[in-house]
Chains A and B, each alone.
Chain A
Amino acid sequence: MSNEKKNREERNEDKLLENFASRLSRKPRKWQACALSNLPDEIIKRAYEVGVVPEDSRAATYFQIDHSVISKAIQRTFQGQIEVMSTKEAMKKYDWFKKYWWRLISKDMDQFTRLAYLKWDHGYFIRILEDQKVTLPLQSCLFVFTDYLNQNVHNVVIAEPGSEAQIITGCAVHPNIHGGLHVGISEFYIKEDAKLTFTMIHAWNRNFDSRPRSAALIGDNATFVSNYLLFQPVKNLQMYPVAYCKGVNSRVEFNNIIYGSGDSHIDVGSKVILQNSEARGEIITRAIATDNAKIYARGLLQGEHEESRAHLECRGLLLSDRAMIYTIPELLAKAQGAELSHEAAVGKIAEEEIYYLMARGFSEKEAASLIVRGFMDVSIFGLPRDLEENIKRIVKATAERAL
């Protein structure tokens, strides 16, 4: 690289950091490692809302508050099956870790990836060892406690060949904070014959910005299921995770349930890139917008192999005339024979559905609430029972609040 170019880049980086530093803090207090039960109640309660439960109900737990790693515990039964640590620790521990670092996502993708590259605040490294079927879900929580904090995490998940696991990640902010920015870089490697289900639940607040940047590489006969759930307001959330179905018979499913309320600006999508024979992809998105929320629901299916197939389904429910849902499904075929399809529908609650339920005895409000709840149905996600029950409870409260 020429000196001139290097200097120019450095100047740009300084400017970028100055820009963020002018409104965000990068000096939170340090937290000591401890058991989750020793954390303040309001943190435990908030973490529970994003699916995080006591350590003994999960195979492993990673918990980070601001820039401090609080917990990286693996239950005894699962020792030798999985590895859980901070990515900073993994970088020190393993020479090979660099092979998985900024490989699927370019650090130059945008200003947020640049920020995370320049200012990296841990993040989790989870590795499911070869042929290990982990019967209990693993969990991680990325928590923001300090007001107007900038938290940049970089996560790496590796599902080694033949392994199977389910990871639940909750990202949340303390109820009292006014604003801040979370940048989350996540790289997933699902190797041959492995299966990884990743469920992410966000609970930000109305003045908080979030920029997740995720990518997954899926090997031969491997499956990646990504579930994303958002029920709380957010100031501005933008993400467009991508899955590369690189292996023969590789599969990906993206399931997104997005509830936009308040003045939330939500721009969420999923991309599926089919690169080998029998590669399959599916994106299912349910978006509900109420109050003044604006939701952009994107989706891209890209067929690069003639024997690949993918489908995208996006349904939007508008509960307010001031809200907006903009669905943008895109199909890009680069090989003859790639089968790509999409269906999208946006509307209000159908009157005939309300009246049908009223003819079953429900009041108009109860009927509408039931329909909205049904719209956010998570029973097809195959979540652990405790998480499904927890989400159903959140969905019920959300539906009642919405109406």
Chain B
Amino acid sequence: MTENILEINNLSVEVSGKIVLEDVNLKIAKGEVHVLFGPNGSGKSTLLMTIMGFPAYKVLSGEIIFKGRDITNLPINERVKLGINVAFQNPPAIRGVKLREIIGYWTSSIREIENLLKKVNFSPDLLDRDVNLGFSGGEIKKSEILQIMAQKGDFFMIDEPDSGVDVENLKIIGRAINDMLQDKSGLIITHQGYILRFINAHMAHVILQGTIVCSGSPTKILTQILTEGYGWCYKCPMRRKIEKRETKTNS
């Protein structure tokens, strides 16, 4: 039997009094990379933030099991220690906090830092800049990937690594992620799926209105979304099945 690194069971989440994830179920086996598709506001980033343990994302019901351990109520940094890492789409700029200090938390080896910098073609000068302050779109993506590479976890969540990145940088970032994911597990959010040219993903999921409605082959699902849009997902028999279930519950 395949061992799951992450298991999410019947997860419902509220943010500022509004339910944003409902009855989400997701299993990612050890060594597998999954992709999460979904239109804007469907709950993709919310799912990542909840897995990471951000307090604003209040778990109403369900559980998050990581490496067999219930982490639903663990603080963020404890989840990091267990091996969960996240690369954010829009990380905050922090004045006076240097990227070097964050990387330095994980490694003090100059050689290791140099190697990591090389992998994402990142200028060493940026290490001494205030993290994310005045970084370009490409620099933010590279900085995020650089940080999670330094963290050396087992499970990587990457939020839209291909948005706002030019072709050259996409290639660099894509290769670095693929390299990082060797023998590791991951969950990647992507809109256009460009990053999938570089990453060998095992499974894709579509999230609509806070619920995972479809799971299957990444290539098949992406092709379908790109040709027919998410409208196709709403027509999907699986989606209709969920709606039927919801109506039954409500009545």
Contacts and interface: CB of A to CB of B under 8 A. Distances in A.
Interface of A: 315, 350, 352-353, 355-364, 370-371, 373-377, 379
A353 B94 contact: yes
Interface residues of B, number: 26
Nearest to A376: B96
Contact of B77 (A362, A370, A376): A362
B104 to A, nearest CB: 11
Contacts of A371: 94, 96-97
Interface in B94-149: 94-98, 101-102, 105-106, 128, 130, 147
A352 B92 contact: yes
Contact of A377 (B76, B95, B147): B95
Contact of B80 (A352, A361, A377, A379): A361
A19 B60 CA distance: 67
B95 A374 contact: yes
B235 interface: no
Given A360-B80, A374-B97, A353 B92 contact: yes
B96 A364 contact: no
B55 A359 contact: no
A370 B80 contact: no
Given A353-B92, A360-B147, A361-B106, 4 more contacts: A353-B97, A359-B77, A359-B85, A377-B96
B75 interface: yes
A24 to B, nearest CB: 39
Residue of A370, A375, A376 with most chain B CB atoms under a 10 A cut-off? A370
B94 A373 contact: no
A376 B95 CA distance: 9
B55 A356 contact: no
Residue of A352, A359, A363, A371 with most chain B CB atoms under a 10 A cut-off? A359
A35 B77 CA distance: 51
B211 interface: no
A363 B92 CA distance: 17
Top 9 nearest A-B pairs (CB, nearest first) are A374-B96, A377-B96, A374-B97, A358-B76, A361-B80, A358-B77, A352-B92, A353-B94, A360-B102
A359 B97 contact: no
Q: Majority SS of interface residues in chain A?
A: helix
Contact of A360 (B54, B55, B96, B105): B105
B141 to A, nearest CB: 15
A376 B96 CA distance: 7
Contacts of B155: none
B46 to A, nearest CB: 14
20 contacts: A315-B95, A352-B92, A355-B55, A358-B75, A358-B77, A360-B80, A360-B102, A360-B105, A361-B77, A362-B77, A362-B105, A364-B77, A371-B94, A371-B96, A371-B97, A374-B94, A374-B97, A376-B96, A377-B95, A377-B130
A363 B94 CA distance: 16
Contacts of A375: 95-96
A358 B80 contact: yes
Contacts of B102: 357, 360
Interface in B53-105: 54-55, 75-77, 80-81, 85-86, 88, 91-92, 94-98, 101-102, 105
Contacts of B80: 358-361
B151 interface: yes
B126 to A, nearest CB: 14
Contacts of B94: 353, 356-357, 371, 374
B76 A370 contact: no
B212 interface: no
B36 interface: no
Contacts of B85: 359
B131 to A, nearest CB: 8
A356 B105 contact: no
B52 interface: yes
A380 to B, nearest CB: 9
Contact of B151 (A353, A355, A361, A363): A361
A359 B130 CA distance: 17
Residue of A355, A371, A373, A377 with most chain B CB atoms under a 10 A cut-off? A355
Contacts of B81: 361
Contact of B88 (A315, A356, A376): A356
Residue of B77, B80, B81 with most chain A CB atoms under a 10 A cut-off? B77
A270 to B, nearest CB: 20
Interface string B23-66: 00000000000000000000000000000101100000000000
Nearest to B81: A361
B56 to A, nearest CB: 8
A377 B95 CA distance: 8
Contacts of A315: 95
Nearest to A380: B96
A359 B86 contact: yes
A339 B102 CA distance: 38
Contacts of A350: 92
A215 to B, nearest CB: 30
Contacts of B91: 356
A288 to B, nearest CB: 11
B43 to A, nearest CB: 19
A138 B75 CA distance: 49
Contacts of B105: 360-362
Interface string B214-225: 000000000000
